[in-house]
Amino acid sequence: MEKFYITTPIYYVNDKPHIGHAYTTIIADVFARWHRLNNEKVFFLTGTDEHGGKIEKAANEKNKTPKELVDETSQKYKTTWEKLNISYDKFIRTTDKSHEETVKRFIKKVFEKGDIYKGEYEGFYCLPDERYITESELVGGKCPDCGRDVQKIKEEAYFFKLSKYKDQIINLINKGLILPEKNANEILNRLKGELKDLDISRKSVSWGIKFPLDESHSVYVWFDALLNYLSALNWPDGSEFKEFWPADIHLVGKEIVWFHSVIWPAMLMSADLPLPKNILAHGWWTVDGKKMSKSIGNVVDPIEIADKYSADAFRYFLLREKPTWEDGDFSEAALKERINGELMSNLSNLVARVLTLAEKFEGKIEGKPEIEDFIRKEEIIENFEKKDLYSALNLIFEGIRKINKYVNDKEPWKLEGKNLANVLYNSLEAIRIATIFLKPFMPSTAEKIEKKLGVNGQLLSDAFFREFSTKVERGENLFNKIN
């Protein structure tokens, strides 16, 4: 049995999740469900990144202790994932004792390798991004990534010999570590400049894991956070580590590809560990044309959207509205349009129309397969292999539109006997197969359709035309028109 290990970034807990965080987690969920559908052994990891100056500051501002804030916010993440039907196998928190032990152990190992030394850091730091910035990187005195103010710092620190791994990293990226290619090119361009050693300890941050070589320092939050991917598998002795490492996909937003494709592989190289297969980057969402921000007041809460429109409609929208690697804009108006124009008038109506007619049948509905090619199975599978969920979902809906057209053309409500049975047989089988492919994207809708069709727990291996002999039940509409 093949294994598949997928991770999301672990999210900062300075604030509750918004649709950007939900997007990453939903994409990972689609992959995890797809690989389970293919009968693979899957480990899907998500969690929260709970240390560092940013969290400390947020807690202060909210009049809470960091511990109170991280407990509260990580719980909000869990609640949100439950609402969105996220099938993670493990939720890791960087304040978990076992994670802290792993970080200390890893640092000792890298130190023994000769890759950590003490020095002095002088430069700038962007607190919201938790990243070091050199003078030459500053844009108008501000952070080059987010445009916000930076702090000038000069302090004693421990360094990781990142520069030592530069050539190996370039090699790795040239071999296809980063997907899609445009993100790889960006990193390769950045690597044309000097790659400096990385400051991995902070004297001035107290909310962090104590640096094992010198307890007056804490571990730099990114060095701590990246190690979640190993500690979640109970590295080095855990059976999960032996079974699932290396990661098949580290899914990340485009802004943190650098950490995952440069720093993380160098850390693993230093510890003599196998390297992840792919860093898969996705684009960003704006809301109503603007970057989400508290001051604009356009931060969208995924729970509110799921409550109002259903988790599946929200999942569908996010995956269907734009290719995952592009940026896109979220608006409720666009979401409603997709619900009414696609989920309701295509999918829901098709299922309702066919099942209304098929309900009258008891037992086997006989027919000859004639629309097997409507759901282009091989191409959908190929798209999943290329990690192109957008095209896979488009193909499924193209198939659903074709089944609809077939029903319209054949007008089964005017037919009877064998002719009626034949059209119903074909429509039902095509719907059943489309549903298998819909499962990763819209798990509860797919489950509802399966129930209506009288089948359950279908796998990819069930995606072929066969006998149709279950009793169907039309039941309620899957989606209704939204005004």
Q: Does 262 bind ligand MSP (CB under 6 A)?
A: no
| Minimum separation from the CB atom of position 65 to ligand MSP (A) | 20
Q: Does 81 bind ligand MSP (CB under 6 A)?
A: no
- Which residue's CB is nearer to ligand MSP, number 292 or number 436? 292
Per-residue tokens: 214: 């010198």
Q: Does 252 bind ligand MSP (CB under 6 A)?
A: yes
| Minimum separation from the CB atom of position 298 to ligand MSP (A) | 11
Residue 255 to residues 25, 42, 64, 281, Cα–Cα distance (Å): 16, 26, 29, 9
**The binder of ligand MSP chosen from 20, 47, 265, 302 (CB under 6 A):** 20
Q: Does 285 bind ligand MSP (CB under 6 A)?
A: yes
| Minimum separation from the CB atom of position 261 to ligand MSP (A) | 12
Q: Does 9 bind ligand MSP (CB under 6 A)?
A: yes
**The binder of ligand MSP chosen from 123, 253, 369, 475 (CB under 6 A):** 253
Q: Which residue is nearest to ligand MSP (CB)?
A: 20
| Minimum separation from the CB atom of position 256 to ligand MSP (A) | 5
- Which residue's CB is nearer to ligand MSP, number 26 or number 354? 26
Q: Does 128 bind ligand MSP (CB under 6 A)?
A: no
Q: Does 12 bind ligand MSP (CB under 6 A)?
A: yes
Alpha-carbon torsion angle 348, 350, 29, 285, nearest 10 = -70
Q: Does 49 bind ligand MSP (CB under 6 A)?
A: yes
Return the range that interacts with ligand MSP (CB under 6 A); candidates 5-13, 197-205, 266-274, 396-404: 5-13
- Which residue's CB is nearer to ligand MSP, number 151 or number 293? 293
* 197-236 footprint of ligand MSP as x/- string (CB under 6 A): ----------------------------xx-x--------
CA distance 269 to 168: 9
Return the range that interacts with ligand MSP (CB under 6 A); candidates 8-16, 306-314, 429-437, 444-452: 8-16
Question: For residue 449, which of 423, 466, 430, 465 has the smallest C-alpha distance?
Answer: 430
| Minimum separation from the CB atom of position 189 to ligand MSP (A) | 20
Q: Does 77 bind ligand MSP (CB under 6 A)?
A: no
| Minimum separation from the CB atom of position 222 to ligand MSP (A) | 7
| Minimum separation from the CB atom of position 226 to ligand MSP (A) | 5
Q: Does 441 bind ligand MSP (CB under 6 A)?
A: no
| Minimum separation from the CB atom of position 228 to ligand MSP (A) | 6
**The binder of ligand MSP chosen from 4, 5, 21, 367 (CB under 6 A):** 21
**The binder of ligand MSP chosen from 4, 5, 23, 314 (CB under 6 A):** 23
**The binder of ligand MSP chosen from 91, 284, 390, 465 (CB under 6 A):** 284
Give me the residues that bind ligand MSP (CB under 6 A), please. 9-12, 20-21, 23-24, 49, 225-226, 228, 252-253, 256, 284-285, 292
